[in-house]
């Protein structure tokens, strides 16, 4: 019950659907339990006393009650499904919005498959309980308690099995199956599209956050979610339409059974009223009892699903904006680190230790060092993906915490080491951070990133649709598209996280040549393993184990005889070996 109370905000606004569904259920149950009583009185008192002229009227009454019950059952099932679907629609949207707000510290430990399961299977499990579980518990309780009371009143247990309605029921089930299977296929298809939207968003969270496209992603997801909701409501309509008809056929069978029993009563072989009444009451108890295990299992699954969903909803949002953040259209891009220390997880070694440097607007800072030395950590603090444990990160003299997240990240162009592309057109991928850009703007950015030529060689040029995560493109092609995307944002700060690692030396040279012009007037951070990618930087920071071991320009660092020269010697020694081997060959 604690889980249901914590999730109350999502289903309570739609309580009217549940209350009306419950009212319809009580109405259905009341009519159901009236049947044995009316039948027993009618048969034993009216028929036995030979008041046969009342039978047509009583038959008409039965028929009217069954029709009314059919409509009531329809509204009960349909409104119950609406209650669950609308509640979960609200819950799913809030979960998705929460995922957009959660910091990178959450995704460092989260598993994509587990998150997908929570947003799909767990949400669906909770929905099914809302739609069926609540009302099923009430229905079972009412049927068992009242049926037991009536059976004790009559004092004798009876049970009769009939197969009269089976052929008719089989026809209805067949027609139902023909309609419900295509409906479920549509649901699964819509569900798969929604899952794809979620999976891509989670996998590309770096790109989404670095380009401040959270609202855009929420909008795209809402469209998929609304389509899924509509498909489910259509299917609920089919279920609500056919199940009352199935029950109607069963009740017609009961009427036929009464006619046969009436014949036996006329011949004084047994009391037909008691036979029919107890026949109904026995099944009113056995049916719910057989269904009780299903309801208990449903409740257990809903409880477990609710707990897993609450783990997401109650996760801490460490990266939050101030109530009155600094909002600007354009930053100058002056980046300053003052004794910054960063620790990703408690009790772990610090990723950065007392880092200090100053990067005035228009300057290029090179970051080099072994894997895990802290290069990427510096850039992730600039974009405020993480919070420093100690020290300050300033942009234009203002702590990054004081800026609105959109102001901060709209002024930063981020090209990751592993370029993430969405399964849409090349044009939309490049324009992702600047959706208002014209096709000409997109082409100019692609030309600067040396991507225009290979794009034009594709069948549909910039309208070419990409596979999931850019499938169909080489690593170098994906990186050049990612570079074009960052350039189109026109950022004050440009971060290239080993952005040319997947391209050949000739392409890297062409990109570097193009980037020299693009870097003018921008503060640029280049993370690279190749010295050739950053030797022209205004300042190079050499990192080891989170410390800045050396700093300076390329020529100065070569003269120091420190870590930078060792990296240089290794890289150029490898080149000499390759050249000598090629010469010998």
CA distance 307 to 295: 18
Identify the three-state secondary structure at position 103: coil
On whether residue 248 sits in a domain, the answer given is yes
Enclosing H/E stretch for 63: helix 55-101
Structure confidence at residue 135 as a pLDDT band (50, 70, 90): confident
Tell me what percent of the chain is helix, strand and coil, each rounded to the nearest 5: 65, 10, 25
The CATH number assigned to the domain holding 483 equals 3.40.50.300
Please state, in angstroms and rounded to a whole number, the distance separating the CA atoms of residues 73 and 247.
10
Give the C-alpha separation, 192 to 177, whole Å.
Answer: 22
Residue 174 or 348, more confident: 348
Whether residue 125 contacts residue 301, with contact meaning beta carbons closer than 8 Å, is answered with yes
- Is residue 146 domain-shared with residue 275, that is, in the same domain? yes
In a domain, 175, yes or no: yes
pLDDT at 578: 44
Give yes or no for a contact between 68 and 31, defined as CB atoms under 8 angstroms apart.
yes
pLDDT the model gives residue 584: 42
pLDDT value at residue 156? 46
- The residues, ordered by sequence, that sit 6+ positions from 464 with a Cβ below 8 Å of its Cβ are 425, 426, 455, 458
Task: Domain of residue 259: give its range.
Answer: 2-313
Query: With bands split at pLDDT 50, 70 and 90, how would you rate the model's confidence at 511?
Result: low
Per-residue pLDDT tens over the stretch 452-467: 888 898 888 899 888 7
Per-residue confidence at 326, pLDDT binned at 50, 70, 90? confident
* Mean pLDDT for the stretch of residues 195-204: 70
Q: What is the pLDDT of residues 222-245, one digit of tens each?
A: 888 888 788 778 777 776 777 677
| Nearest to 479, CA basis, from 462, 495, 512, 501 | 501
In a domain, 484, yes or no: yes
The CATH number of the domain holding residue 183 is: 1.20.1560.10
CA–CA distance, 289 with 279 (Å, rounded to integer): 16
Q: Residues of the chain with pLDDT > 90: what percent?
A: 10
Query: Same domain for 44 and 176?
Result: yes
Q: What is the pLDDT of residue 465?
A: 86
What pLDDT does 159 receive? 46
Q: Which helix (H) or strand (E) holds 413?
A: strand 412-415
In a domain, 253, yes or no: yes
- In the block, tokens 């609710």 appear at 306
Residue 89 lies in a domain: yes
pLDDT digits (tens, 9 = 90+) for 274-310: 777 777 776 776 557 556 545 655 676 677 678 778 8
Residue 128 lies in a domain: yes
**How confident is the prediction for the chain on average, in pLDDT?**
78
DSSP characters over 292-349: HHHHHHHHHHHHHHHHHHHHHHTS---S---SS-B--S-----EEEEEEEE-SSTTSP
Average pLDDT over residues 25-34: 84
Q: Model-level pTM?
A: 0.68
Neighbours of 424 (CB within 10 A): 13
pLDDT at residue 257 in the model: 60
Residue 355: per-residue pLDDT = 92
* HSE (side-chain half, CA atoms, 13 Å) at 560: 17
Nearest by Cα to 42 from 201, 273, 309? 273
Of 454, 469, 490, the residue at which a domain comes to its end is 490
Domain end (from 263, 278, 313): 313
Residue with more model confidence, 217 or 359:
359
Say yes or no: 132 and 277 in one domain: yes
pLDDT of residue 294: 53
Alpha helices in 383-504 (DSSP H): 405-410, 426-430, 439-448, 452-456, 475-488
Residue 579: per-residue pLDDT: 45
DSSP 463: G
Domain total of the chain: 2
Q: Burial of 188 by CB count in 10 Å (0-12 exposed, 13-18 middle, 19+ buried)?
A: exposed
Report which of residues 120 and 293 the model is more confident about.
Answer: 120
Do 303 and 433 reside in the same domain of the chain? no
Residue 152 has pLDDT above 90, yes or no: no
CA distance 482 to 500: 11
What pLDDT does residue 365 have?
92
Q: Which structure tokens are listed for 334?
A: 């002056």
300 and 429 inside one domain: no
What is the tens place of the pLDDT at every residue in 558-567? 888 888 888 8
Asked if residue 368 has pLDDT above 80, the reply is: yes
| Of residues 93, 66, 87, the one with CA closest to residue 132 | 87
Query: Is 269 within the bounds of a domain?
Result: yes
Residues 304 and 423 in one domain: no
Helices (H), 102-213: 104-109, 112-117, 123-128, 134-154, 166-203, 205-210
Q: Is the pLDDT of residue 581 over 70?
A: no
The DSSP result for 24-42, as a single string, is: HHHHHHHHHHHHHHHHHHI
Give the range among 77-81, 121-125, 537-541 with minimum mean pLDDT: 121-125
* Beta-bridge mates of residue 414: 495
Q: Which of 470, 490, 510 is the last residue of a domain?
A: 490
Lowest mean pLDDT: which of 13-17, 121-125, 334-338? 121-125
What is the model's pLDDT at position 339?
A: 93
For residue 346, what pLDDT is reported? 76
3-state secondary structure of 493: strand
pLDDT the model gives residue 167: 62
Residue 114 banded pLDDT, cuts 50, 70, 90? low
Tell me the pLDDT band of 357, cut-offs 50, 70 and 90. very high
What is the structure's pLDDT at 182?
66
pLDDT at site 33: 82
- Looking at residue 517, its pLDDT comes to 63
| Lookup: tokens for 45 | 């008192």
CA distance 381 to 69: 65
Bin 497: left if φ > 0, else alpha if -120 < ψ < 50, else beta. beta
- Please count the other Cβ atoms lying within 10 Å of the Cβ belonging to residue 60: 10
Same-domain status, 25 and 167: yes
Kindly state whether residue 565 falls inside one of the protein's structural domains.
no
User: Tell me, what's the pLDDT at 100?
Assistant: 83
Q: Which residue has the tokens 């290029």?
A: 364
What is the Cα–Cα distance from 280 to 404, expressed in whole angstroms?
68
């Amino acid at each position: 019950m604690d889980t249901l109370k914590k999730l109350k905000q999502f289903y309570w606004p739609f309580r009217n659907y549940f209350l009306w569904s419950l009212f319809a259920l009580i109405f259905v149950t009341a009519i159901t339990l009236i049947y044995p009583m009316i039948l027993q009185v009618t048969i034993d008192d009216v028929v036995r006393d030979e008041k046969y002229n009342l039978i047509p009227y009583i038959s008409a009454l039965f028929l009217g009650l069954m029709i009314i019950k059919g409509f009531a059952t329809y509204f009960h099932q349909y409104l119950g499904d609406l209650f669950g679907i609308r509640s979960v629609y609200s819950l799913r949207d809030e979960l998705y919005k929460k995922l957009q707000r959660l910091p990178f510290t959450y995704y460092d430990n989260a598993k994509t498959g587990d998150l997908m399961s929570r947003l799909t299977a767990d949400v669906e499990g909770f929905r099914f309980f809302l739609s069926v579980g609540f009302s099923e518990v009430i229905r079972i309780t009412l049927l068992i308690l009242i049926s037991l009371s009536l059976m004790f009143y009559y004092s004798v247990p009876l049970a009769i099995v009939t197969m009269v309605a089976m052929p008719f029921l089989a026809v209805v089930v067949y027609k139902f199956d023909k309609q419900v299977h295509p409906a479920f296929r549509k649901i699964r298809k819509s569900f798969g599209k929604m899952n794809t939207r979620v999976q891509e968003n989670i996998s590309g969270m770096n790109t989404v956050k670095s380009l401040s496209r959270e609202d855009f992603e929420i909008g795209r997801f809402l469209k998929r979610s609304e389509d899924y909701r509509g498909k489910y409501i259509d299917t609920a309509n089919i279920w609500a339409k056919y199940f009352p008809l199935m029950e109607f056929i069963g009740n017609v069978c009961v009427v036929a059974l009464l006619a046969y029993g009436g014949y036996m009563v006329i011949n004084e072989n047994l009391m037909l009223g008691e036979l029919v009444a107890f026949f109904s009451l026995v099944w009113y108890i056995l049916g719910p009892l057989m269904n009780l295990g299903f309801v208990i299992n449903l409740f257990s699954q809903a409880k477990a699903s609710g707990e897993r969903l609450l783990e997401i909803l109650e996760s801490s949002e460490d990266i939050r904006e101030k109530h009155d953040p600094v909002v600007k259209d354009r930053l100058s891009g002056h980046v300053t680190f003052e004794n910054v220390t960063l620790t990703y997880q408690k009790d772990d070694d610090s990723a950065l230790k007392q880092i200090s440097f100053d990067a005035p607007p228009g300057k290029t800072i090179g970051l080099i060092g072994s894997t895990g030395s802290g290069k990427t950590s510096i850039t992730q603090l600039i974009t405020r993906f993480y919070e420093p444990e100690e020290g300050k990160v300033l942009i234009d003299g203002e702590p990054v915490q004081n800026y609105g997240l959109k102001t901060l990240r709209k002024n930063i162009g981020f090209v990751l080491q592993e370029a993430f592309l969405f399964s849409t057109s090349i044009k939309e991928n490049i324009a992702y951070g600047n959706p208002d850009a014209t096709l000409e703007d997109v082409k100019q950015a692609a030309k600067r990133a040396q991507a225009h030529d290979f794009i034009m060689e594709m069948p549909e040029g910039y309208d070419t649709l990409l596979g999931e995560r850019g499938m169909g493109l080489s690593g170098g092609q994906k990186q050049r598209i990612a570079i074009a995307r960052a350039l189109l944002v026109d950022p004050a700060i440009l971060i290239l996280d080993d952005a040319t690692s997947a391209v050949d030396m000739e392409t890297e040279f062409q990109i570097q040549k193009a980037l020299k012009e693009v870097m003018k007037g921008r503060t640029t951070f280049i993370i690279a393993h190749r010295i050739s990618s950053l030797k022209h930087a205004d300042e190079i920071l050499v990192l080891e184990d989170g410390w800045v071991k050396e700093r300076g320009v390329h020529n100065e660092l070569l003269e120091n005889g420190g870590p930078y020269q060792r990296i240089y010697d290794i890289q150029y020694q490898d080149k000499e070996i390759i050249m000598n081997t090629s010469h010998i060959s």
